Chains A and B, each alone.
Chain A
Amino acid sequence: MDTFWFCVIALLWLGYLFLEGFDFGVGMLLPVLGRDETERRVLINTIGPVWDGNEVWLLVAGGATFAAFPGWYASLFSSVYLPLVLFLLALIGRGVAFEYRGKVDSVRWRRVWDAVIVTGSWVAALGVGLLLTTNVFGLPLDAAGDRVGSPFASITLESLLGALAIAGYALVHGAVFLSLKTEGEVRERARALALRIAPFALAPLVVLLLLVQLRFGSVWTYAASIGVALAAFGAFARLALRREGQAFALMGVAVACAVVALFGALYPNVLPSTLDPAFTLTIENAASSPYTLTVMTWVAAFGTPAVLAYQGWTYWVFRKRIGTRHIPSVHVP
């Protein structure tokens, strides 16, 4: 049951990285791919109906960790405190910015919110990467599960590499998503950009996985890491042939393999202590009681298929590509 919930949490993180990954990317690329106001509105409208739903995957990952592994939830979030605050502020900023930027017809107003979207998306993408990588590599935790030492203990070379890895992934994923969801010039530009930056932007992820492999790896994390490389390469090849849908799906496979590799390297720990292996939080010592996990399993068993169904339906409803011709003139009071 502990293992099952470990997998559920990995799955929630996968959902989060796959879905919010592209909306981070869209935000990060806003000034690059959106050359004028209409184009920027095209970009934002590709994620308009869905970004909020994507973000809930993070909330549920947090909530599920609290319910299933309270020790993990408590130690991780209290130890990575300041980076997490910055990450939350970034999420707050970009969320508000998406909703408010179009509410006043003024160049200055939009410019401010655009800046918030771009900064917020970058900071948040880097933040997720830092958080996840720190979690895999561990923190200086004492016997009580509290961090010993500096508030910046989570900032290490590895975690910074992890931050770049996820941000780089989001960048490419966002560009592929845009090439799939837009039409005309924006689509072409997004596709060209994805092809151009992919080798550099995905490099940190490859290095990170290599590092994880050397430090914690087993046979199947090795397989998963290979999977990341193959899927990313496949995505690149399909995109080059203008098969944007397949490229996007392969980017999903790549992130799925990356999550398997990272969480596989972590298992059966949930949060290693770098001070003493005896202080490491494991799926056993951090887990809730079997009764609580059983209750949560029933909730997840009914809830998750429903979520997948109606979120999938949303993407179906908004499946059409968006172009500049769909963008109306501004009508605000």
Chain B
Amino acid sequence: MVVDVLDLARWQFGITTVYHFLMVPLTIGLSLLVAGMQTAWVRTGDRKYLAMTKFWGKLLLINFAMGVVTGIVQEFQFGMTWSAYSRFVGDVFGAPLAMEGLVAFFVESTFLGLWIFGWDRLPRKAHLACVWAFSLASIASAYFILAANSWMQHPVGVELVDGRPRLNSIWAVLTNNTVLAAFPHTIFGAFAVAAAFLVGIAAWQLWRGNADEPVWRSSVKLGTWVGVVAFTGLAITGDLQGKLMFEQQPMKMAAAEALCHTESPASFSVFAVGDVSRPDCEDVKSITVPALLSFLAHNDFSTEVKGIDDLVPMYQEKYGTNYPVDERLGELSGKPIDYVPVLPVTYWGFRLMIGFGAISAGVGLLVLWLTRGGRTPRGRWFRWLALGSIATPFLGNSFGWIFTEMGRQPFVVVPNPTGVDGVWMFTARAVSNSTPGEVLTSLVALTLVYGVLAGVEVFLIRRYVRGGVAGVLPGSDPGGPGSGDGPGSGGEPGTGDRAGSGDRAGSGDGVGSGDGAGPGAKAGSGDEADDVLSFAY
């Protein structure tokens, strides 16, 4: 069997990118929520918010580290495995990448370090500013990298010089309507991930009757409402994005629906039984909603939506029927170009994205309702519901990206129907002139290392989740400082009272140590440094 560099390089890019993007949305969403928690603590002085900041902040750090190191690979692999692509688009594509580094990554990494180690060395407000700085920078980095990706989906702001796109308006690239839709969609997706993370873990803590109940109840509430807003935002921005895609990449959207023939009005397929890949798509039994697709595409229930069979000849006419004869294309040299993405992937990817997103928001609301008024379901099912729901938005995000990136094949730079002629590139032409052995080696090595690290991250997150607030806030152990001041220390009302007001109320004997350790920022004596370093390393 001949393994070609193109397939290996695509698998490598897919694996490393999907993996990286498991960490990224959690980092983005959670860092802003942690910034919010810390703000609440600084403003109210309520120890509950400090506990939330420290607990969720610690999980954020564990995740952040993995996002950072896997991001290094992303910065380099365009040149490593996609050197022909890098040469072709470098005049345009490199700029947002460099801006991301200069404007966002520096801020992110520097202020993260200051935040981790600065609990007692910075004034409280300056320390709070650090968490805002790095969380906003993580959002800025999302903007730049999405601008770069959106340019691949919809190239704008360029002219064609010597067969290569040349940037003539950075403004057009940064305000590409594709990125203006993709950016909020991605950010809402990040909040959906963070929200489910909060809801799932906090609900589990309630279920097992962990101390610090108010911490978990507040987390569930925060997570649910953020999740609901995020899902609403996802639906709205997703709809906007879809409408753009019908114009910019009609083939992708036809593939999302596995829509073989042009329909007018077109119905939306909710679910299909059977194989959606061509040429069997005649046999697929699909549950459909009449005319909905027309509405999704054009805000009108009667308009026509182009099907794959009609789009293919249009693409062939514009971009050719066969690949050029070129030894660098390997097996594809001179072969007909397949303009249809892998339909099962696009069709199911699209549905799984929406489905998992909806499940995630639904479970959040369900959990909020189940825990209303201080209730906590005690059945084992609740535990599985809570923990299982954490995975859903991660899956939704991954399927969404797999759909959008696979849906633009065979192009790496998709032609812009209203843009400059000639600014597009086939994926097959983008790959480096490497040997299969090189790419196979790196593919195996990176996959193995990423696999091991995924295990380590999950192990650590589990451990710190189990440790609860006591694990990250020395002195707040159940039975420690709190047991002295809480009325009925064993029962739940007691723990609740403690975490809620222990910080201020407890000037008595038992509470002293707990109080000093927590809001270290205000005192800053020698002992405090210890707790700071223990938050760090």
Contact = CB atoms under 8 A, between A and B. Distances in A.
Interface of A: 41, 44-45, 48-53, 55-56, 58-60, 62-71, 73-78, 81-82, 84-85, 88-89, 91-93, 95-96, 98-104, 144-147, 151, 288-289, 291-292, 295-296, 299-300, 303-304, 307, 310-311, 314, 317-318, 326-333
Contacts of A66: 78-79, 86, 90, 93-94, 97-98
A295 B102 CA distance: 13
A48 B105 contact: no
A292 B474 CA distance: 52
Contact of B97 (A67, A89, A145): A67
B281 to A, nearest CB: 39
B534 A63 contact: no
A56 B441 contact: no
Interface stretch (B117-125, B188-196, B350-358, B391-399): B117-125
Closest 10 CB pairs of A and B: A70-B90, A333-B467, A333-B471, A328-B530, A67-B94, A77-B79, A66-B94, A99-B65, A74-B83, A49-B113
Given A59-B72, A151-B435, A328-B533, A70 B112 contact: no
Contacts of B89: 70
Contact of A310 (B107, B442, B456): B107
A48 B167 contact: no
Contact of A53 (B69, B75, B81, B106): B106
Q: Which of B64, B90, B437, B449 has the most CB of A within 10 A?
A: B90
B515 interface: no
A52 B114 contact: no
A96 B75 contact: no
Interface stretch (B252-260, B458-466, B502-510): B458-466
A104 B459 CA distance: 10
SS class, residues of chain A in contact with chain B: helix
B62 A310 contact: no
B98 A147 contact: no
A84 B533 CA distance: 34
Q: Which of B113, B435, B534 has the most CB of A within 10 A?
A: B113
Contact of A299 (B61, B98, B435): B98
A52 B68 contact: yes
Interface of B: 61-62, 64-66, 68-73, 75-76, 78-81, 83-84, 86-87, 89-95, 97-103, 105-107, 109-114, 116-118, 121-122, 161, 166-168, 170, 432-435, 437-439, 441-442, 445-446, 449, 453, 456, 460, 463-464, 466-468, 470-472, 474, 529-531, 533-534, 536-537
Contact of A64 (B98, B103, B449): B98
Contacts of A77: 76, 79-80, 83
A60 B537 contact: no
B86 A74 contact: yes
Contacts of B435: 151
B456 A71 contact: no
B94 A55 contact: no
A62 B435 CA distance: 23
Contacts of A84: 76, 80
B438 A81 contact: yes
Q: Which of A67, A68, A288, A314 has the most CB of B within 10 A?
A: A67
